[in-house]
Structure 1
Amino acid sequence: MPVYNGEKFLGESIYSVIKQSYSDWELIIIDDGSIDNTSEIISDFIALDKRIKTFYQTNMKQGIARNLGIKHSTGNIIAFLDADDLWKVDKLAIMVDFLHQSKCELVFSDAYIQYDDLSDGKPVIKNQTFGVVNARYQGINGVESFLLYNRIPLLTVLVKRETLFEVGLFSDRGISEDFELWLKLLLKGVEFKSLNQVLAFYRVHSKSTTHQDKLAIDASIDVIYDLYRNVGKSYKQLFNDYLKVWYRRKLETIADYYAYKEFLAVIVTQNQNNFKYQLLKIFNLGSLGYKLHKKLIFHLI
């Protein structure tokens, strides 16, 4: 459990672990340089339950914090829970059983999306879930399913510890490092299975990492592009095709000249060997207007 200045929700999240019907667990909390009352809250819970441990690091973001927790873990199965999310009481019991029955390396389930403390005026849908279905993901079909979008609510995952070390754990991107990890695991041939049962609550609020959808799109494009540069020939075209899908998604979110100009530079940089993308530098953005230029790039993609 990584936490940075998480005093508002941390206690609830820890309690959701303590209340688990499955009791053979350890909770490793990584304090990622908090300056609020996080450390005091953690200390109170450690005094209450000896299965809870904590380690401190200067602020290095969630991916590095999760890696530190994984390295200090003693079990052979890893689960994830952020300091603002919640597990249902039978989450671990059900998923441990599902992992053993499935005989694969990673399993995940559905979760509710719980909206708290939002100030952007977005409508809140009651009982909204991630829409996880019963499925199996492996090989090129599994990779393609995940290139379309990240299908895993991180807080529902159970994964074999040794499997994570085989691909080098999480990166330090700050956003979408879990998306990157799932793709790396699938590219290595790891099998995932999913359960459509809702077993957790994913909290969305004004300070949550993925509340900024546009930032998540940018990070996902970077993930796919970075992996595209290193994948084998059998996956090259697939990654290229889905990079275009994510380009279009990004373009659909852009509503001003400066954001468009910034993203145009990303596209041109990521496609230096593609002649049609380099043509974009020839067409003057200022004279055409960014809306017309955006239509042109949609056609080129």
Structure 2
Amino acid sequence: MKYAVESEIQSDIYGTYEAFAGEQGQVSPPTVSIIMSVYNGEKFLANSIKSILAQSFPDFELWVANDGSQDDSLSVLKHFARIDARVRYVNQDNIGLTKSLNRMLRLISGKYIARLDADDLWFPEKLALQVSRMEQNAALGVLGTGAIYIDAAGMNTGVVKTITGERIVRRTLACYNPILHSSVIMRAKVVLVNGGYDDRYDCAQDYDLWLRMAHSWALDNLSQPLCARRITSGMISCTRLRRQRFLALRSKFAHRSWKFGGKCFWLYCLKDLLVVLLPEYFVARLKQLKQVRTAGSTSTS
């Protein structure tokens, strides 16, 4: 059954912060720094930011790179920066997602880093539950969450398959990326020690970072669906699937992920290689068939 996710999230987005700020009395580094980059994302940007401001955990800052947008994304950012001191932005020429995220990493001051794409959404308890888990487990470097899919209208269209358990997530990571970028929270010191995102990766930059971190830190997901991933025709996984799989394959071998992937590592390497080498129309057809099967299983569950 479909239902409107965005209207569910739009609650009192300011009262929590006002109460928190009144208790603090002075400015101190936030617990969480949220980073975002937007390029011509005016259509969904406001609702994405509202879902951040609606968090029950108020101790955060939001840094957004306006990456050369030609629409009214900058006006949206100016509006939220005026009404909430936690929202900050940088207006820049277009340099791409990866370099924009790395620029945000140089500006943050939080103990943890969270990521949200400019068209995705968070549910109100997301940061609270993730910070609690990270504080309880000092060995955990990366923590994602379960998620749902939404369409351009903000309607729920399905559930993202979520892998949980540190050992299982690590083994799965060697095969494919089981951690949704928009759901993630990371230890800032670990991200920075590992050099942040690799500027050479214009996509799959999150997967590359997870593989580097996995050699020294635990990774996991919360099972609860605390993020809404918007599926549109313009997203990278739809428009640049071949490039994404090529870079994923490159990262798997560059970071020796066969060491913790077992036999499935080679199977998924073969699948990535087929996507890279097969004619584009054939790969597109296979992806359509997979989406139809996924939609069918969701509607019958």
User: 1:26–1:251: structure 2 CA closer, same or farther, 3 Å change rule?
Assistant: same
Provide the residue aligned with 1:246 in structure 2: 272
Could you say which residue in structure 1 is the equivalent of 2:64?
29
- Distance, in Å, in 1 between the alignment partners of 2:258 and 2:222 is 32
Partner residue of 1:13 out of 20, 31, 48: 48
Q: Does 2:202 correspond to 1:167? A: no
Deviations 1:77-116 (A, max 9, x none): 0000111011101111111112112331211111111122
CA distance in 2, matches of 1:237, 1:100: 31
- 1:79-228 matched pairs, under 5 angstroms: 79-103=114-138, 104-116=140-152, 127-137=157-167, 143-172=170-199, 173-186=201-214, 188-212=215-239, 215-228=240-253
Between 72-81 and 228-237, report the one with greater CA deviation.
228-237
State the alpha-carbon separation in 2 of the partners of residues 3 and 109 from structure 1. Answer: 22
TM-score between the two structures when normalised by the length of structure 1: 0.73
Q: Distance in 2 between matches of 1:184 and 1:224?
A: 14
SS at match of 2:237: helix
CA distance in 2, matches of 1:147, 1:232: 5
CA distance in structure 1 between the aligned counterparts of 2:163 and 2:279, rounded to whole angstroms: 28
TM-score (norm 2): 0.73
Compared CA separation, residues 208 and 250, structure 1 to 2 (3 A) = same
> Residues 108-167 of structure 1, C-alpha deviation per residue, up to 9 Å, x if partnerless?
1111111227xxxxxx9x552221133114xxx755411321101111111000111122
Match of 2:92 in 1: 57
Query: Higher strand proportion, which one?
Result: 2
Residue identity matched to 1:67: N
How far residue 242 of structure 1 moved from its aligned partner, in angstroms, is 4.3
Q: Which amino acid aligns with 2:93?
A: T
Quote how far apart the aligned CAs of 1:33 are.
Answer: 0.9
- Answering whether residue 102 of structure 2 is matched by residue 75 of structure 1, we say no
Q: Name the SS for the 1:22 alignment partner.
A: coil
Distance, in Å, in 1 between the alignment partners of 2:146 and 2:261 is 31
| Whole-Å separation in 2 of the counterparts to 1:129 and 1:253 | 30
The answer as to whether partners of 2:146 and 2:226 remain within 8 angstroms in 1 is yes
Distance 1:253 1:90, change over 3 A: farther
Superposed displacement of residue 62, structure 1 = 1.1
Quote how far apart the aligned CAs of 1:225 are: 2.5
Q: CA deviation at 1:63?
A: 1.1
Question: 2: distance between equivalents of 1:111 and 1:41?
Answer: 26
User: Is the CA contact 1:179–1:220 (under 8 Å) kept in the aligned structure 2?
Assistant: no
Q: Is the 8 A contact 2:175 2:269 kept in 1?
A: no
When residues 23 and 237 of structure 1 are mapped into structure 2, their CA distance, relative to the original with a 3 A threshold, is: closer
**Corresponding residue for residue 32 of structure 2:** none
Is the Cα–Cα contact under 8 Å of residues 225 and 243 in structure 1 kept in the other structure?
no
SS in 1 for 2:143: strand
Residues in 2 aligned to 1:102 and 1:230: alpha-carbon distance in whole angstroms: 25
Find the structure with the greater CA-based Rg: 1
- Structure 2 counterpart of 1:276: none
Name the amino acid aligned to 1:219.
Q
The Cα shift of 1:57 comes to: 2.4
Distance 1:237 1:224 in 2: 16
Question: Separation in 2 of the partners of 1:250 and 1:222?
Answer: 10
Structure 2: 5+ residue stretches without partners: 1-35, 285-301
- Secondary structure of the equivalent of 2:186? strand
Contact 1:108 1:194 in 2 (8 A): yes
Kept in 1, the 8 Å contact 2:144–2:220? The answer is yes
For structure 1, list consecutive stretches of 5 or more residues without a partner in the other structure.
118-123, 260-301
Is this contact kept in 2: 1:102–1:193, CA < 8 A?
Answer: no
Question: Is the 8 Å Cα contact of residues 175 and 216 (structure 1) preserved in structure 2?
Answer: no
In 1, Cα distance between equivalents of 2:48 and 2:251:
33
Identity within the alignment, %: 25
Could you tell me whether the CA contact under 8 Å between 1:228 and 1:240 is conserved in 2? no
Q: 1:133 to 1:127 in 2, by over 3 A?
A: farther
Tell me which amino acid in the other structure corresponds to 2:58.
S
Contact 1:228 1:236 survives alignment (8 Å): no
- Contact 2:211 2:251 (8 Å CA) reproduced: no
8 Å Cα contact 1:221-1:243 kept in structure 2:
no
- 1:39-50 matches, within 5 Å, as 39-50=74-85
Are 2:38 and 1:3 equivalent residues in the alignment? Answer: yes
Distance in 2 (alpha carbons) for counterparts of 1:228 and 1:237: 14
